[in-house]
Structure 1
């Protein structure tokens, strides 16, 4: 063994550094890297990457099977299985994993060969990039889509809505980026993944610490919204499920043991660490699985996958893939009906069919009942009981429309009945959202961000943006910690009337055995939403007990949102303020002015050190609401901008000339959520405006007083 003095050691290090520079310096052009990244070497890397990913997917399936066989699921199991990529989504996610793993293997080769200065994109020829795209399966992104010469109805996937760029807004594509992604390594590593790394001169705080110190609110200290009902909150979730779904990585769908025992960042594991002063610090960390990515062979930067069509098209009811759409239709006849439950009814009224797949985790929410999850156009249908109730209302509404249209037009075949009913349902969702929901959310800034409709704009990008997918999670701050169910007289439904929210998640058996959907609808109509206040952001039920149906401690929804923002490479709060043309506070004084709260601003500065590091979600929900609205200026900008793009970039928007006749438009304008409830439940008295707080019985009308949808304009001569 040789021993050198510190000076000699330093000299050797410097010499090695100089030699390395010579090897990879000016004389080593990109073209010379062909030996190091030959085509055969590249193919070996792709083959190895595919094998590694396939093994990870297989292991995740084995873990899931074991979980279900052991008849026990953790809170993370419940959440992640609801977000399992399936069908074409699973294929898209797997192809992206092939691509990312290939790139990681190539980066390792660059480092081992001494070419650590170069990015993989710099040393790959155009031919080699095409090879990667083809052999990982990512070339599907560039395959031409043949659109029909004329189309009266939307495609299920959203393809061909934009005839110029046929995949724009379709399912299983990347979210739009309104600002470039921000990653530690410039490509895929989330900010905060590397311990001790500094950003703008400060380390990022643990997301759980931010949640504890800014988001946490005791359940008993929340404030009720004096103007808006819980139906307002539920509609927000209905809308977001229609336009975006971010599945988890298929390789980490059921968290592997190392995701639970280690807090290290090992994709797709990105665990949430507990600060030392946390009440749960005895646990190592909270499991977190990264979102599924989508192929990006242009820049190789990580982009997340939107599994559903971006358009507000009632894909929650009908699905965003042809295979899903077909599987939820009634296959016993050709009448255009949706399938219904064959085992149970709601006192004679239709219920959603069961999802009898092997991954129906709802069975574990009540092992005695052995009831699987419901099945609908969106796989999150059973996430909570209020959501399941809305899905049921729209299932029944579709089948009602089919039967009524058949009476008007006996000559229509089942496919036309299905498509015309689907078209009407899509218009209903759009009308209720833009006419009734968004003005209550955006208040006096509604017309600023969503001016009157002026027609379809084919050059507008209607895709859901990555930032909106996180920003619209403001709705979590309006959730009540308890589930309220009411009887015919709008009184608590006995022992079932008031239960902690955690026991309503993934629990469809409660609809079958505890009164059906009517008590749930009455509860959301009469109950108040929680108001979003700076010192009351998230109730403890969501901050500590999410999906806590077992003895295992629940999840923290605030921490999940913050970690998700970092996972998606979203720039911080200040960058988005700049994007929206708002002021960019640089210090405590300026931040306290923006928030209108010195103490709140002081908490932020203590945690983050600089305003530049504040995470988007927590900063945005801390802003005071705009006049008459329920979100601050930044959220109003992001949400308003997105909904304007969704409307103006939709070729099938309900108001566009030629989509409906003038007579049909007049009929549709009279539709309301209250009418849908009257027509599809046994509820006989309802407020005219269900998103607003109403008192029973003085503000409730007989259903006979609520305008019906007149279908006579849809009658056609044979």
Structure 2
């Protein structure tokens, strides 16, 4: 007989397979069996069933092959060759392989060998001269726009979108060579009548180092110190053999070769060579006017996902002279095509649009992502300004300059400002050119905040979570100072940072990721934390940790579907207030108010968010960044258009790369998509090969225990597997000079988001055991003093 006393219920730990048909529960008394209770419920499930598609996924060789594998096979004419390292295909029902990621009826991807020796030096010189001339024309356009004061209106949502995505001077410099090589490759294509396959596959073999002067390239990493126990700020030297792998200001990795309309840089086109359906039309069509279903996730889950995203990826968009915004839809530009910037790709809005039609809006501003630097011909890539590793760069920064700007250089502390009640807040951003700052708030002594990532003010819950992590760093630094009075500022800072990074890695893989991809995938791919101080030995220096373009541009944007219309605040007495989403975007000033952060976290932890599907709130499909107007931007249309901008292959190509069965007709998608959304998708797209990855990924039915369908699960699992096994400083890895001891790691293994919140929001007093999931009998609200929320001790860091 199990004791069902109140004490036992409060302390129980339950293994739940979310969304599955079977519910299994293991009751564990926290008082009697603390080590077992430290683990996340998903890890207590002994047997996790996988559906058919999940079995396809886990049978693959992981990590997935990436762009270089495909190109190597194409270039050598060994497209049907299976490498010795490839796993044998033992499933008689699995007819896919890593060698058939593109539809058989797509003639543009049937590659035949091409001899690049037929291209002469004169051909290349002529193309490069053309590229340089075209780049100068672009510079002239930017100068004209600047001198004539032609900008995106400052009271518009487009201005806010472009201004908050601040452009680093480094990105501007690096993109120069990318743009020149885009134009040069286009010229080569026209002059020599090269096919799309040759442009995509073979042209990258042609390098022009003479045109890539050192000052035009990302600086090489300084000599690596293999014995250093600490990460570099910019991610360099994590991989000692390839010091720039995972570093900031490097190109995104690709799962598949790019699929541009012209093979070089123009937006992806349909399989028949025609235009893909209008991005805004797709957005409104798939966003069915039906009630949105609630998930078992909280708003804190959505915010946490955004927080992780801002640790991994930031792709800059093109800016004009002196970092000014680029207008694509203004009257001056539409009436004088000579003023249209080469990187403009505005989204046309149908005249009968169900929302924008009432405001007579027919054009949505859209500027293309800036190209990454390269010294070879071939297709465009995009730049990632952040480190690709889970190193909490959204708190600490991704460059040495940003990192140093956020430090006090005293006792290892991060810079903060104190609120009126003495609580640490993020430091103020004194840049009045930042769109977030307003004269009205500045006169009241309230400025927007600065952190390791420039988007910290985008959503007030994000600013609150970042504040909590800064407080955690300083709490640890002070504790380490007490334990080790002889440690200097640098040692205290680096050790506190090392612990915070480990804590966030553990929480991400223990509490967040299992909810996204499902416990079955987590267990099968070895993504679950070890627990109880156990180390791993699976670091692999041959694996590239870079964030893939497919992940950044589509898969990890799934959280946009989970954004609610309102955000809640909950007072200590349970009183609830709600604010519309756009009323808290770029308005973080309430954080200065005593007690707000606690009310915000209570609200986020209490609020259930929608399930992942193709439905979205109007707050993001028509009112995003609307400022004082009645309308704003459409984030869904932006995501679809951005995928085409980046040359992301269609949904069907990506699912094949994941090893999922190929589909050649819409009818074959019936087992993967909801019938209603499938009918709409069939009416939108002419071919299954045209479906945009963002749309197809969201339309899939979720895998058992996860939030997403198999294609997005594939991309996200692949990325997080790389972030684990390709990180030399991974918190559980024991082969690094910075590895934790067994006792230290045991402390980290018991860390939870609930404990981080309790330790840094002292007035919150209680929270559910797993704050990313809604409160239930199996996830009760506990007092912060409860032993079911184990405390983190620094005792084992005493030197």
Q: What's the TM-score once normalised by structure 2's chain length?
A: 0.76
Instruction: Return 404-413 or 705-714, whichever deviates more.
Output: 705-714
The offset of 1:177, in angstroms, is 1.0
Indicate conservation of the 8 Å contact 1:78/1:506, yes or no: no
Indicate conservation of the 8 Å contact 1:145/1:167, yes or no: no
Per-residue CA deviation, residues 199-237 of structure 1 (Å, 9 max, x unaligned), is 33653100101100102557xx32221x22111111111
SS at match of 2:437: helix
Tell me the equivalent position of 2:559.
Answer: 475
Counterpart pick for 1:336 among 385, 389, 412: 412
Once residues 660 and 32 of structure 1 are traced to their aligned partners in structure 2, the CA distance between those partners, rounded to angstroms, is 54
SS at match of 1:222: coil
Counterpart pick for 2:403 among 325, 328, 334: 325
Q: 1:667 to 1:568 in 2, by over 3 A?
A: same
Tell me the equivalent position of 1:528.
Answer: 608
Matched, 1:579 2:657: yes
The offset of 1:107, in angstroms, is 5.0
Tell me the equivalent position of 1:667.
Answer: 747
Indicate conservation of the 8 Å contact 1:94/1:250, yes or no: no
Indicate conservation of the 8 Å contact 1:161/1:650, yes or no: yes
The offset of 1:126, in angstroms, is 10
Once residues 202 and 648 of structure 2 are traced to their aligned partners in structure 1, the CA distance between those partners, rounded to angstroms, is 27
User: How many residues are matched?
Assistant: 657
Once residues 49 and 590 of structure 1 are traced to their aligned partners in structure 2, the CA distance between those partners, rounded to angstroms, is 46
Unaligned runs of 5+ residues in structure 2 are 1-114, 529-535
SS at match of 1:483: strand
Once residues 565 and 301 of structure 1 are traced to their aligned partners in structure 2, the CA distance between those partners, rounded to angstroms, is 15
Once residues 208 and 313 of structure 2 are traced to their aligned partners in structure 1, the CA distance between those partners, rounded to angstroms, is 30
Matched, 1:83 2:165: yes
Per-residue CA deviation, residues 146-197 of structure 1 (Å, 9 max, x unaligned), is 21242110001110000011100000000111100011111111125xxxxx
Unaligned runs of 5+ residues in structure 1 are 1-25, 193-197
Tell me the equivalent position of 1:209.
Answer: 281
Counterpart pick for 1:466 among 549, 554, 562: 549
Once residues 330 and 155 of structure 2 are traced to their aligned partners in structure 1, the CA distance between those partners, rounded to angstroms, is 13
Instruction: Return 610-619 or 442-451, whichever deviates more.
Output: 442-451
The offset of 1:139, in angstroms, is 3.9
Indicate conservation of the 8 Å contact 1:223/1:530, yes or no: yes
Once residues 578 and 517 of structure 2 are traced to their aligned partners in structure 1, the CA distance between those partners, rounded to angstroms, is 31
Q: 1:56 to 1:337 in 2, by over 3 A?
A: farther
Counterpart pick for 1:129 among 184, 208, 215: 208
* Residues 231-250 of structure 1 mapped to structure 2, 5 A cutoff: 231-250=300-319
Matched, 1:177 2:251: no
Indicate conservation of the 8 Å contact 2:130/2:184, yes or no: no
Q: What's the TM-score once normalised by structure 1's chain length?
A: 0.85
The offset of 1:679, in angstroms, is 1.1
Indicate conservation of the 8 Å contact 1:217/1:539, yes or no: no
Instruction: Return 200-209 or 475-484, whichever deviates more.
Output: 200-209
Tell me the equivalent position of 2:479.
Answer: 404
Tell me the equivalent position of 1:316.
Answer: 394
Q: 1:366 to 1:65 in 2, by over 3 A?
A: farther
Once residues 155 and 130 of structure 1 are traced to their aligned partners in structure 2, the CA distance between those partners, rounded to angstroms, is 28
Matched, 1:186 2:260: no
The offset of 1:258, in angstroms, is 3.6
Once residues 303 and 362 of structure 2 are traced to their aligned partners in structure 1, the CA distance between those partners, rounded to angstroms, is 34
* Residues 148-297 of structure 1 mapped to structure 2, 5 A cutoff: 148-192=225-269, 199-200=271-272, 203-215=275-287, 217=289, 221-225=291-295, 227-251=296-320, 254-261=324-331, 266-279=341-354, 280-281=356-357, 282-297=360-375
Matched, 1:33 2:102: no
Tell me the equivalent position of 1:349.
Answer: 423
Counterpart pick for 1:646 among 712, 723, 727: 723
Once residues 233 and 172 of structure 1 are traced to their aligned partners in structure 2, the CA distance between those partners, rounded to angstroms, is 27
Q: 1:518 to 1:32 in 2, by over 3 A?
A: closer
More helix by share: 1
Q: 1:539 to 1:449 in 2, by over 3 A?
A: farther
**Structure showing greater relative contact order (alpha-carbon pairs closer than 8 Å, 6 or more residues apart):** 2
Q: 1:117 to 1:181 in 2, by over 3 A?
A: closer
* Residues 376-455 of structure 1 mapped to structure 2, 5 A cutoff: 376-443=451-518, 444-451=520-527, 454-455=537-538
Once residues 578 and 149 of structure 2 are traced to their aligned partners in structure 1, the CA distance between those partners, rounded to angstroms, is 32
SS at match of 1:538: coil
Once residues 506 and 465 of structure 2 are traced to their aligned partners in structure 1, the CA distance between those partners, rounded to angstroms, is 16
Matched, 1:73 2:155: yes
The offset of 1:489, in angstroms, is 2.4
Indicate conservation of the 8 Å contact 2:319/2:325, yes or no: no
Tell me the equivalent position of 1:559.
Answer: 637
